[in-house]
Amino acid sequence: MIKAVMKGQAVGTDDSAKAEAIEDAKRKIVQSILGNAVAPRYLRALAPLVKRAPRYMNSWNVLDESHEDGKYSVKIEAYAQRRTLLRDAAYLVLQTMRERPKVVLLVEERIGNNVILIGQEETSVSLGEKLRKAGLEVIDTSHLLSNYTARELVAYMRGDTSAAARLARENLADVAIIGTARVVSEQSRPGQGMVTASGKITIKAVRARDAKLRGVRAAEATVRGQTLDQSGPAALRDACAKLWLDTFVDVVIATAELPPMKELIVSIEQPGTPMEFDKFFKRMARDARSGNAEKLRFTSQAAGFRISSDTSMGDVVRFLRSLPYSDEKSLEIVSAAGNEIILRTSSTARSAAD
């Protein structure tokens, strides 16, 4: 719930004009909330929510009113249901996106004194399943385990927002969801044979592009069962059920706030030594970041980037031409088409394509 003050206006000087002026102010409140939440390109799709503005007002009252020159003007103070509005907006925005938002999800889970192995956490499984059903793309934990050690993933889970954003970028994700899940238990009275498990989940959504924290969510649940192995995971599932929807909204809105990105693959034929290759792409990633591009991942001969959708291939080619490969080698461009640029090392810089 947020408080908003807004002016509205309508043609006329009677009570019906006053009522329409009040409705105009309510619509402007909804437009303001949506305009601050998503990029302009999505606002047309959200027009139905503006028309239904009154349903998002919890209460309102008129602070000032006047009529002159055939128009009725009001100023209202209203309490708007921002959370509900953004939930509705998220589903409409998702339908207009060219690609589903991609999420990397890691939650450090502990049930009692047991630390749950990465890939076996109830929280990641349950939350990931709900987000997938809602329409997001969630990277499988098995993919992460094939590219990182467990120690590295734990470091990401315990790191700051910059670390979370880096993990997302390296895996072509738009948002990283990082958090903790804890379960504590209490034995029932002797003879009852029941265990009460209390689970608490706290997660944060971090946008990959700028490492901005876009939401922090927490939920708790308590379940009774015969053993902690039964009641602990059940408590975490119930907690996930309480926070998944707000997490979904955080991801969609975080992705919709900025212009869309497109993937670009840059590969090098005969890249030379791994040290030369690694040094070049690190420099490229560092320099490209100021040019509105983000490094996502490395392979043995290529780097993946996500760049602003309005960046032309010509701009990228000119940028690459400006980068030396090493002290002894420069680069020539073999081809540049679609979303892929192929480079070749050369002792003398020559361009094969513009």
pLDDT beyond 50 at 296: yes
CB atoms within 10 A of CB 337: 9
> Do 86 and 114 sit in the same domain of this protein?
no
Strands 195-207 vs 302-308: parallel, antiparallel or unpaired: unpaired
**Segment holding 262, helix H or strand E:** strand 261-269
> Do 267 and 249 sit in the same domain of this protein?
no
> Do 80 and 158 sit in the same domain of this protein?
no
Of the pLDDT bands very low, low, confident and very high (cuts 50, 70, 90), residue 189 is: low
More confident call, 316 vs 223 = 223
Split into its structural domains, the chain has a count of 3
Of the pLDDT bands very low, low, confident and very high (cuts 50, 70, 90), residue 290 is: very low
Residue 30, SS3 per DSSP: helix
> Do 81 and 114 sit in the same domain of this protein?
no
- State the chain's mean pLDDT as an integer: 87
> Do 329 and 306 sit in the same domain of this protein?
yes
Q: Is residue 354 one of the residues assigned to a domain?
A: no
> Do 48 and 187 sit in the same domain of this protein?
no
- Give the separation between CA 220 and CA 237, rounded to whole angstroms: 10
> Do 121 and 10 sit in the same domain of this protein?
no
Least confident of 141-145, 221-225, 296-300: 296-300
Q: What is the pLDDT of residue 132?
A: 97
> Do 246 and 126 sit in the same domain of this protein?
yes
> Quick check: pTM over 0.85?
no
- Give the separation between CA 223 and CA 9, rounded to whole angstroms: 53
Q: Is residue 353 one of the residues assigned to a domain?
A: no
Q: What is the pLDDT of residue 192?
A: 63
Q: What is the pLDDT of residue 31?
A: 96
Handedness of CA 156, 162, 168, 171 (dihedral sign): negative
CA atoms within 13 A on the CB side of 272: 19
Given 225, 256, 287, the domain boundary residue is 256
> Do 251 and 272 sit in the same domain of this protein?
no
Under 8 Å CB-to-CB from 20, ≥6 apart: which residues? 10, 11, 12, 72
| 25 contacts 7 by C-beta, under 8 angstroms | yes
> Do 47 and 117 sit in the same domain of this protein?
no
Q: Which residues pair with 62 in a beta bridge?
A: 76
Q: What is the pLDDT of residue 45?
A: 94
Q: Is residue 128 one of the residues assigned to a domain?
A: yes
Burial of 242 (0-12, 13-18, 19+ CB in 10 A): middle
Report the pLDDT averaged over residues 286-301: 59
Q: What is the pLDDT of residue 129?
A: 96
pLDDT beyond 80 at 18: yes
Q: What is the pLDDT of residue 93?
A: 96
Q: Is residue 315 one of the residues assigned to a domain?
A: yes
| 211 contacts 246 by C-beta, under 8 angstroms | no
**Each residue of 221-239: pLDDT tens digit?**
999 988 898 899 999 999 9
pLDDT beyond 90 at 305: no
Of the pLDDT bands very low, low, confident and very high (cuts 50, 70, 90), residue 288 is: low
Report the pLDDT averaged over residues 312-317: 78
Burial of 159 (0-12, 13-18, 19+ CB in 10 A): middle
Q: Which domain holds residue 270?
A: 261-346
Report the pLDDT averaged over residues 302-314: 73
Q: Give me the percent of the chain exceeding a pLDDT of 90.
A: 55
pLDDT beyond 70 at 32: yes
More confident call, 300 vs 332 = 332
- Give the separation between CA 208 and CA 123, rounded to whole angstroms: 22
Burial of 145 (0-12, 13-18, 19+ CB in 10 A): middle
pLDDT beyond 50 at 149: yes
pLDDT beyond 60 at 351: no
Q: What is the pLDDT of residue 348?
A: 47
**Each residue of 48-107: pLDDT tens digit?**
999 999 999 999 999 999 989 999 999 999 999 999 999 999 999 999 998 899 999 999
> Do 296 and 196 sit in the same domain of this protein?
no
Residue 100, SS3 per DSSP: coil
> Do 155 and 250 sit in the same domain of this protein?
yes
Q: Is residue 351 one of the residues assigned to a domain?
A: no
Under 8 Å CB-to-CB from 322, ≥6 apart: which residues? none
**Amino acid occupying residue 335:** S
Tokens 């939920």 sit on residue: 219
Q: What is the pLDDT of residue 257?
A: 84
Of the pLDDT bands very low, low, confident and very high (cuts 50, 70, 90), residue 277 is: confident
